[in-house]
Amino acid sequence: MSKEAATDLCSPVSPGTVGVLLCGCHGTMGGPGGLDAVHAALASDPDVAAVLSCPDLCSAQGIEDAATKLAAASCDRAVLAGCKAMESFLPGQGTAQVGLADGCSALAMIRDVCGQVSEGGQVWSERAIEVTRNAVRRVLAQREIESLKLPVIPAVMVLGGGQAAAMGVLALAEAGRDVHWVVAGADPEADTLSEFGRFLRRTFSQVDCLGCGEPDEESRTVRQAQAHPRVTMHTNAMLSWCCGQAGHFEVALTVGEGQDVVPVGALVASLTDLAMLPVDGASAHERTSMTDLLGLVRQLDEGTIPKGRIALVLDADREQGRLANMLSLAAARFLVEAGASCVRVYCRHVRVAGKHLEALYRSARAAGVEFVRHDGDLSISSTAEGSQIVATDAQLGCVLDYSVDLVVQAGIAPMLPEGTPLVSLLNRTGRSTLGPASRNVWFQPHMTNRPGIFVVGADGSDLDLGRVDSDVGQAVADSEALLGDGAYICADDAADIDPEKCVACLTCIRICPHKAIDFDSEKESAVTSKIACRRCGVCAAECPARAIQLPRYTDAELDAELEQHSEIAVFACANSAAPAAASAIRVGWGAKAAVQVIPVPCAGKVDSRHILMALERGAKHVFVLGCNPESCQYIDGASRARTRTAELKELLGQAGLDAGRVHWGALISGEQERFLAMVHEVALSLETETDPERSMTAGVNAQ
């Protein structure tokens, strides 16, 4: 038999018994055009076991009472038909306590389509019936979602030396966590970040630039952390490989000739593989007239202080982060004070608005450091006695041509080269040293794309040393939340891969933004980590064999949802478009066209097939609305949705169909006006196209 039969889209679920809780809005909704008609229609629906008109569904107590009554009427699944106020009840929160199956409930938003409110009479009641029946179908397609308690390894590994690592180790150990501290050298203090920290402290001690009190506090934290009984030190150790997922990592360390494999539940990386911008070609390191920031700091530490004319070039094409800025400013000032004849800082857009940075900038200027803000490229060429720098002054517009004795490339490369420990740990290339997603509003500086792996210190997006403290605190808190008392509690709603259908194509493993899927060679199937999976559904949308289903958003559930036959179907990302749609509807939806908002966890969950299914069932327009691609909670879900929609439009065009019926849009959750501007305009255009009487009923009568 064909694998393709529409009913076979996901693993079969045992159909439960559905009851409908109909909001009576405190008795105001009666009458022939109101909910009485809805009640009667649903009561005669064979899929509905019980209909209860409830006086109060907008309070927790009211819902609990109603759900208890439903359970007493031997229903184990519920549809709540009413308004947005009941949303906090969903999905499945606390339903198990009153005898309903967890995760098996749905909200039918009928408030805007019931007769009393909308003055549309019978037609609108019919729409309310349709919306509620649709929710019943969806609830029937749902699978019961249990709560899981998954064992995790209650230890954390901290990678790297430096202050951030030491603070993390100490905080975790003091919270009672077993900590493995891995440092590259014999001493945690002997690494680049520590060097930078000490340099800043030494050259700029009058400003409390590290956010700590006494100068030797950093050292004290390191010693305390090292001596803590819960801390196991791994010195002279390098990260070799890391496999597994949040809660169950296996980390291999190369120690001398041998290898240690350490099982840990979470990783905190404060890695020192900061990549300096290359200094003008391969042979540059041999040239005495050029160095990079690290080289300069080392020279100054050793007491070799360059004199003469010195240029510090901040790579200003990109935002450098505060560490590079601070170090450059501190070094420039130090050089002037140590007797350099001229120190110039070349920059384009150095941001000095930051804790301590502005003071540092002012004091550097006061000490005599010159700043050149230039436009366009800067050319550096070597001459017999040093280097020649040519730049166009941004203010004066004139070309500045100076000879210098030493050029310091003060930039930190924005991309980590492949093969560096952090890149291999995150299994994601091309990310910036300024954090895995530095412009993404969903990401705090310590977060990475991989659950259970945190970054602190200079590899985090925040290079302000003064804020290392709070990043470390967050990383420690998140590790604690993950590892708890050796068990992680979550709902059993991670992306579900059917091993029978998996063709081992590796697509999901490669595209999962969180790298939460591994290949299980025993099962011969990809398997999702229930802990690391963030439930975005990007994998389910891309699986070529339809082997992956995301609970609550399975193909069967979306299929049931699309039974509604609306004129406009809007797939709305739960993080942006769905709340925007909800508030747009709350403030008053003016268009009469039937618009159906279908919430999805991420726009990246929306597969072309779902868009096409909506079109097949009569939708005149289909929207896929998600977050702005640079701020997708699931990193690249929104950009995938955008590309996928564009490709589908192209395909439709090739097939001679109107590609203009499919729309992609990006917005944030507060942009109800934007939502209206996109969807409402199309809805209004539908009304002018057709007879107004018809367009009102089209949504109902399309089937």
Report the nearest approach of other proteins to the CB of residue 3 (Å): 5
Residue 423 beta carbon to other proteins: minimum distance, rounded to whole angstroms: 15
Residue 528 Cβ vs other proteins, minimum distance, rounded to whole Å: 17
Residue 3 found at the interface with other proteins (CB under 8 A)? yes
One residue of 491, 511, 677, 684 binding other proteins per CB under 8 A: 511
C-alpha to C-alpha distance for 391 and 344, rounded to whole angstroms: 12
| Contact region with other proteins (CB under 8 A), list: 333-341, 569-577, 587-595, 648-656 | 648-656
Using CB under 8 A, pick the residue from 43, 366, 399, 503 that binds other proteins: 503
Nearer to other proteins, 10 or 193 (CB): 10
- Our finding on whether 656 is near other proteins (CB under 8 A) is yes
507 binds other proteins (CB under 8 A): yes
Which CB contacts under 8 angstroms, 24+ apart, belong to 412-419?
Answer: 412/274, 412/275, 412/276, 412/277, 412/293, 412/315, 412/320, 412/321, 412/323, 412/324, 413/275, 413/276, 413/277, 413/278, 414/318, 415/275, 416/273, 416/275, 417/275
* Own/partner pairs, 359-364, CB within 8 angstroms, 24+ separation: 359/207, 360/204, 360/207, 360/209, 360/326, 360/329, 360/330, 360/333, 361/329, 363/207, 363/333, 364/329, 364/330, 364/332, 364/333, 364/336
- Minimum distance between the CB of residue 616 and other proteins, rounded to whole angstroms? 6
- Nearer Cβ to other proteins (232/507): 507
**The pair of three-digit structure tokens given for residue 113, joined into one six-digit string:** 């389509």
CA 91 to chain centre: 21
Residue 520 C-beta-side C-alpha neighbours within 13 Å = 15
Closer by beta carbon to other proteins, 491 or else 657: 657
When asked if residue 612 is in the footprint of other proteins (CB under 8 A), the reply is: yes
Q: Give whichever of 8 and 492 is closer to other proteins, judged by the CB atom.
A: 8
CB of 610 to other proteins, least distance (A): 10
Q: Of 394 and 504, which CB lies nearer to other proteins in the complex structure?
A: 504
Residue 261 sits at φ, ψ, to 5 deg, of: -110, 120
- Minimum Å gap between C-beta 519 and other proteins is 13
* CA–CA separation, 605 and 601 (whole Å): 7
Please give the Cα distance from 216 to 124 (Å, whole number).
73
Query: For other proteins, what does the binding mask look like between residues 625 and 644, x meaning CB under 8 A?
Result: --------------------
Minimum Å gap between C-beta 344 and other proteins is 38
Which range touches other proteins (CB under 8 A), out of 350-358, 459-467, 576-584, 647-655? 647-655
- Interface map 538-557 toward other proteins (x if CB under 8 A): ----xxxxx-----------
- Tell me: does residue 14 bind other proteins (CB under 8 A): no
Q: Which of 202, 220, 307, 510 binds other proteins (CB under 8 A)?
A: 510
Candidates 134-142, 244-252, 500-508, 580-588; binding stretch for other proteins (CB under 8 A)? 500-508
**What's the closest the beta carbon of residue 663 comes to other proteins, in angstroms?**
16
654 touching other proteins, by CB under 8 A: yes
Residue 692 touching other proteins (CB under 8 A): no
Establish if 385 lies at the interface with other proteins (CB under 8 A). no
Here the tokens at position 678 are: 């996109």
- Stretch touching other proteins by CB under 8 A, among 53-61, 310-318, 365-373, 537-545: 537-545
The answer to whether 260 and 234 have CB atoms below 8 angstroms apart is yes
Q: Which is nearer to other proteins, 405 or 542 (CB)?
A: 542
1 interacts with other proteins by CB under 8 A: yes
Where does this chain touch other proteins (CB under 8 A) — which range of 408-416, 466-474, 610-618, 679-687?
A: 610-618
| Full DSSP string of 347-404 | ESS----STTHHHHHHHHHHHT-EEEEEEEEEEEEE-SSSEEEEEEETTT--EEEEEE
Considering beta carbons, is residue 138 or 649 the nearer one to other proteins?
649
Q: What is the 3-state secondary structure (H, E, C) of 234-296?
A: ECCEEEEEEEEECCEEEEEEEECCEEEEEEECEEEECCCCCCECCCCCHHHHHCCCEEEHHHH
Encoding tokens for residue 39? 């009640």
CB of 539 to other proteins, least distance (A): 11
The structure tokens listed for 316 are: 């200003």
The pair phi, psi for residue 72, each rounded to 5°, is -65, -30
DSSP H stretches of helix in 22-100: 35-43, 60-72
Q: Does 652 bind other proteins (CB under 8 A)?
A: yes
Q: How far apart are the C-alpha atoms of 459 and 436, rounded to whole Å?
A: 9
Compute CA 337 distance to the chain's CA centroid, rounded to the nearest angstrom: 45
Instruction: Decide if residue 23 touches other proteins (CB under 8 A).
Output: no
Of 57-65, 444-452, 460-468, 608-616: span binding other proteins (CB under 8 A): 608-616
Cα–Cα distance, 576 to 169 (Å, whole number): 37
Take residue 43 and report the two structure tokens written for it.
């009561």
The answer to whether 504 contacts other proteins (rule: CB under 8 A) is yes
**Does residue 521 belong to the site contacting other proteins (CB under 8 A)?**
no
Q: Applying CB under 8 A, does 430 fall inside the site for other proteins?
A: no
What stretch of H or E contains 220? helix 217-227
The label of the residue with tokens 């050089």 reads 335
Report the interface residues with other proteins, using CB under 8 A: 1-4, 503-507, 510-511, 542-546, 607-609, 612-613, 615-616, 648, 651-652, 654-657
